[in-house]
Structure 1
Amino acid sequence: MLRFSSPLVWLLLIITTILFIALYETILALVEQPNPVRSPLDCVGVMLAMSLPWIPRSTVCRAYFWLWSVFCVHVAIFYQSKMIDILKRPLDGHQISTVAELLDSGMVIGFPANFAIHLERLNGSAERILQRRLECTSETCLGMVGGTRPFATIGNRMYLRYAAAHQTEPASVFTLDEIVAKSFIQIVMQKGLPLRDHINKKIRQVSSLIEAGYLAAVTRIFLAHTRNATRQVEDHVAQVVPLRLSHFQGAYFVLALGCALAAACCGGEIAVGKVRKRMRRVVVYPFVV
């Protein structure tokens, strides 16, 4: 409940309860006979929506106790509404989607040691990322994502998708739309070096494979594989039915029925009490024949 209500709310509720019990004990000591054990239990019982076998006798104590009952009803309504909100939207929250939000979140960011060179092209973000850096392999970093500890990793987008699809327990991995860093590979060699001809030959071979459609075919196979691997997680999420207000119709009906019966019992007790008072007021005058 701390997610939907601040700790200050709970602190004020505890302080209010303690002050009410202390003031209630003081009023009972001045008006009626106090009971240091029963009075606090009665106050807590009203907060828990429990029926009490004993009620105050004086008008002042009854009025004060009635105010406490109204306060507890409002607290119970607030608590139940927040609880229903949690049951309806248990995963409600903001999803980090940019690098700035990731840096402001305070998450630990893990990546391999040789990946730090790619962060040198960033302006001010590199220092903030390196401050919360955790060196780990790509497989280890990916396994820590989605655990009990807030954790993020930086790596090759295609590789991370491929590795996430091959996990034994597939987790919901969210990738940022914004690119953190780009990797440009440059090869600098001396002019006239014989090795340059071999490298150019390999580049021409790769270029011919790209022109022949090999890279496009591999990309399609990769995307189809990762899509099929993550479909199980999507199907599992699709089977989860979120709670709606219609699911609580039975509880609301029972609550309304209980309130109606409680009101009827209260009215009946008041009527019976008035009838008994009238019967006690009847005075029989003796007469002599």
Structure 2
Amino acid sequence: MYHKDLQDQVVISLREQIQKLETFPAWNSRAKFVILLLTEEAVDARDVAKYVLQELWKWKVMNAVLLLPTSTNKSNVSHVLMYTWFPYQLPSGLCGELRDVIHVNSWILDKDGGRFLQNSSLYPEKVPVDLKGCPIRASTFEFHPFIICDKHIATVTNSSIIDGLEIRIMRSVAEGMNMSLILRIPPGDDRGGIQLENGIWTGLRADIIYGKADIVFASLLRKLEDHLIFDDTINYFTDRFTWFVARAKPYPRWLAMARVFDPMTWLVGFLVIILSSIFMRILYSFHTVKHKEVSHDYWRFAVCLSSIWAVFLGEGVPIMPCSLPLRMFFLSMIIYSLAVNTIFQTFFTSYVVNPGLLHQISNVDELVDSDLIYAFYYVLDKFFTADFLQKLKPRVQCEPFKCLDYVATQDNYATFCGRALLAYIVDELVKQEGKHEIYAFREDSFQLNSVMLMPKGSHLFDRVNMVMTHIVEAGLPNQFLKTILDSRRIEAGILALEDLSGEYSALSLSHLQGSFFFLLMGVTLGLIMFLLEVITYYLIGYSK
């Protein structure tokens, strides 16, 4: 009982000192600690050492040496016992559980002052290369293509995780350390998590704070706030972030004919027809052509206009020109019409098959001047200036996948996220009923690094970083992502083969809307002119 009270006093005193040290910015639980226990009472050195080191382990202090002075009598100190422990080496510890302390060395007093009994290090490596299958708890959240869950399982659970870039990286890290990976998906919809006003944490970060995970990941971006509270690993993946908007709508097919030339070219073309008709009329007026060489009816302006229009369309004229001046003029018009018609027919076919797109918003200036709704995750706010955020209104906050779904469903949404996410989900997303294509800006706004978070002072932090460095230097993250995206494209291609027969079809009314539109317009104008002539005829006849 007496020894128990003494141990409690030692622990209470130690706890108070650690709590005070922990408030300093320089606090580092992975540092080397020396604890000196001064007592005049006889104690069981091993029990006291185990009790003290176990208390230190609650504060993630592992590199600690406990000094216990012993003496043969109350006045002379003969030597100092030194104790430590090894969390992953039996018989001292098993997978981080303290089982017994190790007498690592002793300091012997002699006439020369003193010496160590053994020539051994007081702070040997506590985390071995081979951790012998000890578990490492990892919390994550479904986030393509970093964490992929089985889509055939309705409820996302721990066992539904099947693949992903970060899953492959984490499995490689666990394999390199010879640890058993235990994956967990926390409840709720908050992926990263934040600290609420009442101090409660949510999401993945809550699992670290409350000791439910040794490491968390789900495309978490490097932030200063995380670095102050958690230990963040090295950068293992860099994603390029840009804006995504709905693909511009295609031109109406009835405009296919009109889009071959710009308005000015069309205007010049019709002016050429009118001026050519006038020129033909001038040829007769100035007697350039003898009257006997051509019929008088040929020189009416209406006939001249219809003849030039026929030449322009590649059709025959009602009266064959016989005089040399007319033939030379007609030959020049035929050559001109041939060149114009060749260009028109070539581009007309292209526009019928692919009518093209209306104006596409393709840069930030056009985006800001538009009336779109901006939807992106709140975590990205800190990467924009305050002035720029003020321009991004109206604003909707949502997870990246949900934001992209808004863009694919509605035309008036824009989102900001990484290209890796779009590359993975775009094939499946845009093929759904009621979805349209998504356009990504060509220029990237910036690049952000993904990290994994661990508890502050985690003893596995250095080993995880070492293994992860080897993985990054080998180029495995990019290779993992390429393999995942290739598999995704192959799957999408196989699904598309079922509908391959529908990719090619005969030209329908939708393809030839332009032709029928102008035909209808011509018939309508002709009918109007016919009715006007009939009305005029009856009015003139009635007046007579």
Give the TM-score normalised by the residue count of structure 2. Answer: 0.30
The structure in which a higher percent of residues are strand is 2
Give the TM-score normalised by the residue count of structure 1. Answer: 0.49
Greater length-normalized contact order (CA 8 Å, ≥ 6 residues apart): 2
The structure in which a higher percent of residues are helix is 1
